[in-house]
Amino acid sequence: MAEPEFERAKRSTKWNSRLSWIWTEYSVIIAFLILFVVSSILSPRFLEFSNLMNILMQVSIIGVIALGMTMIMLSGGIDLSVGSVLALVGVFSVIALNASGSIFIAIITALAVGAFTGFLNGFMVAKLKIAAFIATLGMMAAARSIALYTSDGGSISGEVEGFSAISNSSIGAVQSPIFIFGLMAVLVFILLHQTRFGRYVYAIGSNEKGALLSGIRVDRIKMAVYTLAGMLVSVAAIIETSRLNSISSSSSGQLYELDAIAAVIIGGTRMTGGRGKVVGTLFGVLILGILNNMMNLMNVSPYLQGFVTGLVIIIAVVFQKRE
């Protein structure tokens, strides 16, 4: 007996719905796997252990920054100042390091400067009601200017032995920045997915007015989000500064905001907030890392890497709108 038409249509709709759900939830993982396989075919050097570790090492700094950017974008905001703040944090941490001779004081200084700049961003957005784009754009200019002024427009090198060991040591074959990135990812995952604070962040991003009417202190949550993101920028600054044992006030952190935002968007976090996952951001960071690595292996001009990053952002946003 022939299957009724409406039964076939019902089953087809069910399968389409299931496939749509799989794509929505796991599209970034699927894209990562496809890119990984294609890269391994295009270049036999890609699968070498040293190259894979190099990719993880290269994305560790942007990855830490992207974790903070994930929190901000989930709350419906954005932060354009992360690159300049990284340079500012680096400058002040090296000054504190050389003046005190203490690595501990340098780290505390870095965390304090990053937290303070993040707090200022959050205050402007939450209390002064300035659009996040404008507030953080102003901070981007201010932080870079202060870094340049403090260092006379040049680089500052650390003079304390042992500071460079933070980023240049390893456990087995895995370097410490990779472990720091992994630890930060676990902490942010727990914060966003296992705590009340995380639920509030998602609620604000989904419907800020509804969150306010339900009794959530929206202003405090936003300020906390930007402050935590600033501290994550501090962690990234410590990694970069200790790896080079110096910081450049003019070039350090340049366009880091672009890479961080790209990783978050590729990972599935909506520009409007309220939807996204830390795991998605991790895969977004890895996708960018593999793309840059493959362009290097294939001798593609480094000047085209920004073009590829921008193109990937546009494609990711187009797919988000289609969903």
* Low-confidence residues in the chain, pLDDT < 70: 1-25, 320-323
Please, where are the H alpha helices in the chain? 5-42, 49-74, 82-100, 103-126, 132-150, 165-168, 176-193, 196-206, 208-213, 218-244, 256-266, 278-297, 305-322
Nearest Cα neighbor of 290 from 66, 45, 26, 82 is 45
Q: What is the pairing mode between strands 246-248 and 174-175?
A: unpaired
pLDDT at 306: 78
Reported pTM: 0.91
pLDDT at 1: 44
pLDDT at 235: 97
Specify the CATH number for 60-321; select among 1.10.3470, 1.10.760, 1.25.40, 3.40.1440: 1.10.3470
Domain extents in the chain:
60-321
pLDDT at 298: 86
User: Do 234 and 114 touch, CB atoms closer than 8 A?
Assistant: yes
pLDDT at 290: 93
User: Do 206 and 274 touch, CB atoms closer than 8 A?
Assistant: yes
